[in-house]
Amino acid sequence: MIGALMLDIAGTELTQEDIELLQAPQVGGVILFARNIQSPQQVRALTDHMRQIRPEILIAVDQEGGRVQRLRQGFTLLPAMGRFGELYQKDAEQALDLAEQCGWLMATEVLAVGIDFSFAPVLDLNDISDVIGDRGFAKNMQDIVPLASAFLNGMKRAGMASTGKHFPGHGSVKADSHVAAAIDSRPYAEIFAKDMQSFIQLMPQLDALMPAHVIYEQVDPNPAGFSEFWIQNILRQELKFNGVLFSDDLSMQAACVVGGADARIQAALKAGCDMGLVCNDRAAQCIALAGMTELPLPNQQRLERMRGKIPNIQIGETLALGAEWQRVRDNITAFRNTN
């Protein structure tokens, strides 16, 4: 059974404390960070060990490209998604082709080392946000939708489920929700018309969504990830989205408005998230876990869709994943290195 808490670990291999935590029924996932990565071979050994301890565990990473890329040593360095938006203005066909190749390449490398999925793609506008910027494909949804659709097709072709973030849109909010409370003062109609459209139009291709730690104060007093209005009324009922909902990291500053780690994860799950992330704070993870032992396990059928098609292959110190991988890697590396 898959639990509702996703946590992280400190190092490149499991400690005894990690092993004991992974065995807790409400632990359902592990997210890897750069500190957990030494080489492809080491990552695959780590993920294989996790599955020996807990075969049903879901393993995730943030491998977006650009500045948000945890797997670096021994992996292809991917361009920021905003680069595809720039190319789209000059050569739409080439931009779409490269975006599809990049989605496939990212997913192929992540799956090869035993990770089920990357929290990607970012569907926010590349607008005024301090934290989004060129993580977003473009400044308008007319460009975001085709580019993200191509990237999603590539991920799917490789065998990886997708997570659109950060619903209903973080690109029009300047504050970085990692370190500050992020508040959007616009009315619902403007958010719907401007920021939500990329999520709505791509929803048939998305397996999961991650709500933003943003308070849309004219709509609801709670951050979107703690809001029954956004999750139940809008996503589940109005938009009929039946994919997985992951909270953003509940250790982020913008999430602290709800209270301690136990209150935060309870609020996220009560609002309708399927799984809550508590990262970079082991004490908070233990508090969150203690606060959810009496809660029911999440929707297993829904979460099972996030399981990646992980190949049964031996991984060395460097990746060698076949002729198509080499060709696509060369294409993406050449694009990334162009001015």
68 and 120 Cβ atoms separated by less than 8 Å = no
Q: Which residues contact 155 (CB under 8 A, 6 or more apart)?
A: 103, 104, 106, 107, 120, 161, 162
Active site residue 178: yes
Active site residue 262: no
Q: Which of 178, 195, 213, 274 is catalytic?
A: 178
Residue type, 319: L
Beta carbons within 10 angstroms of residue 195's beta carbon: 26
User: 274 labelled as ligand-binding?
Assistant: no
User: 83 labelled as ligand-binding?
Assistant: no
Helix axes 82-90, 92-112, angle to 10 degrees: 150
Name which of 284, 274, 227 is nearest 252 in CA terms: 284
d(CA 177, CA 156): 29
User: 270 labelled as ligand-binding?
Assistant: no
User: 70 labelled as ligand-binding?
Assistant: yes
Phi and psi of 78, rounded to 5°? -95, 150
Residue 312 has, within 13 A of its CA and on its CB side, a CA count of 0
User: 62 labelled as ligand-binding?
Assistant: yes
Q: How far is CA 182 from each of CA 112, 131, 175, 213, 252, rounded to the nearest angstrom? A: 36, 11, 5, 7, 11
Q: Which of 8, 143, 207, 248 is catalytic?
A: 248
| Partner residues linked to 117 by β-bridges | 60
Pairing of strands 5-7, 27-32: parallel
DSSP state letter for 122: B
d(CA 248, CA 186): 22
- 3-state class (DSSP) for residue 7: strand
- Active site (catalytic) residues: 178, 248
User: Annotated binding site for substrate, which residues?
Assistant: 62, 70, 135, 165-166
